Amino acid sequence: MRKNIYRIFFFSFVLVSCTGSRDISTQNLASLYRSPEVFFHPEFSLFHFNDSLSRLYLKVNPEEFLFVRRDDNHYKANLKVTILKTYSYEANYPLDTFYCSFEFDMAEKGTAKTLSCDFNHQGVGSFLLRVFLNDENKNYSEDFFVPMENEGKQARQFFHLKNLSGDLLFKNYLEENEAVRISYRDSLIKKLWCRYYNREFPLAAPPFGFDSRQGFNYQSDSAFLVDLSDTSGLVFPKEGFYHFQIDTNIREGFTLYRYGSTFPNVTSPIQMLESVRYLTSKREYEEMKANPVTRNAVDAFWISRGGNPEKTRMLIRKYYTRVQEANSLFTSFVEGWRTDRGMIYIIFGPPNTVYRSSATETWIYGTPNSTLALNFMFTRVNNPFSDNDLVLSRSPIYESNWYRAVETWRQGRAYNSIY
């Protein structure tokens, strides 16, 4: 694999096709939540060495790119990465544009590759990276969005998470006995404070109800020092979340989460029972919980909905696939299926239209501007533990739509099923 990177300035933005001059907030970003409809499924991680030098890591699967035979009879795939640094989703033009190119050999198919692009830039604060992946053999590109925060003393993107082999981890959750290493951009920092939180968060309330969230109590359950130079790695066996800081007088920091042992997958009977709560009445759910064999309670619920084994298996697969996708897409300091966006995604399915701004995200089911369209608006919350925390604007107007969708599930049909 060969790599090269170079930078161009603002005026060359006109050379980048398919971006246009419209700000991103007016464009439909529904493909972010409709995975089967896109070709590329990258993961991103951003790290800032200092105020002007940053590195974007990409994890890609070479199998998603087209390999073409060259003159030497070797098959190659070529990926061009374009990074547009903007202020926000509302910005019309980028502040800077950067390019990075990669080549894959046929032998690299079947194994995920971690790539990196270094870029020099100006300014500290909150920005947005719009990242285009272009398969040069197909002449096809898709874009993705990476929030950029390089202000302060302990922004999340000043920290690295790696396994004991030194491989970068693109996740922020850990398994029960997983050993990891954390590093800070200042190599002289050898110890961090860790605040541990063990909280029980309520299930998201229906869209027509009242928001059940309460103010967060920042008093941690425990606090301790971690040694970053420990070669045996760090292990966090207790479920909850761990917030790492240099200065405990500042709320921001780097957070890791410990959910269930199989997260983001839903495999245990208790996980399957908890996440079906959106489809049940309170009494029905309590009766299911009282069953001494949780698996039997869950099976009985779905069999009564499906009516026959084949239909029941299909219904279970579609419902819990949405639960797992919600975990992957919407997890913050709580599992994604418990969040407001997770709830709407599970019951109503992927939205047809998504508009995203710096402060809000709007989901539309149906045709935009139609009187029959169903619109949900989520507002971003300033959360020191996560940049993925959004809250639904609830309203009584959603009640009939909610019960219609729930009843569709209960009658044995996946609501708004497109895959």
**pLDDT tens digits for range 239-257:** 999 999 999 999 999 999 9
Residues 106-142 have pLDDT tens digits of: 999 989 999 999 999 999 999 999 999 999 999 999 9
Partner residues linked to 160 by β-bridges = 183
| 103 and 214 fall within a common domain | no
338 pLDDT higher than 90: yes
Shared domain check, 112 and 194: no
Within this chain, do residues 196 and 129 fall inside the same structural domain, yes or no?
no
pLDDT value for 202: 87
Task: Please tell me the predicted confidence (pLDDT) of residue 165.
Answer: 94
By CB atoms closer than 10 A (0-12, 13-18, 19+), residue 111 is: exposed
103 located within any domain:
yes
Q: Band of the pLDDT at 176, cuts 50, 70, 90? A: confident
pTM: 0.92
Coil, strand, or helix at residue 345? helix
State the residue for tokens 């998470």: 161
Q: Give the percent of the chain with pLDDT over 70.
A: 95
> Do 209 and 142 have their domain in common?
no
Backbone angles phi, psi at 312, to 5 degrees: -65, -45
Q: What is the pLDDT of residues 371-381, one digit of tens each?
A: 899 999 999 99
Among left, alpha and beta (phi > 0; psi -120 to 50; other), residue 307 is left
In this structure, are 248 and 389 located in the same domain?
Answer: yes
Which of 101, 116, 149 is the endpoint of a domain? 149
Please report, for the domain that includes residue 7, its CATH number. Answer: 2.60.40.10
Domain annotation covers residue 167:
no
Say what the pLDDT of residue 10 is: 35
> Pick from 149, 180, 198: which residue ends a domain?
149
Phi then psi for residue 185, to 5 deg, are -65, -25
Whether residue 15 is predicted with pLDDT greater than 80 in this model: the reply is no
22 within some domain:
yes
Q: Which amino acid is at 83?
A: I
Is 164 domain-assigned?
no
Of 195-204, 208-217, 379-388, 404-413, the one with minimum mean pLDDT is 208-217
User: Which one has a higher pLDDT value, 307 or 82?
Assistant: 82
111 and 191 housed in the same domain: no
Same domain flag for 101 and 245: no
Assess whether 176 and 139 both reside in one domain.
no
61, 127: one domain: yes
Domain coverage including residue 73? 3-149
The verdict on 307 and 377 lying in the same domain is yes
The pLDDT of residue 288: 97
The answer to whether residue 232 sits within a structural domain is yes
pLDDT band at 276 (very low <50, low <70, confident <90, very high): very high
- Count of structural domains within the chain: 2
Distance CA 280, CA 203 (A): 13
Are 206 and 139 in a shared domain? no
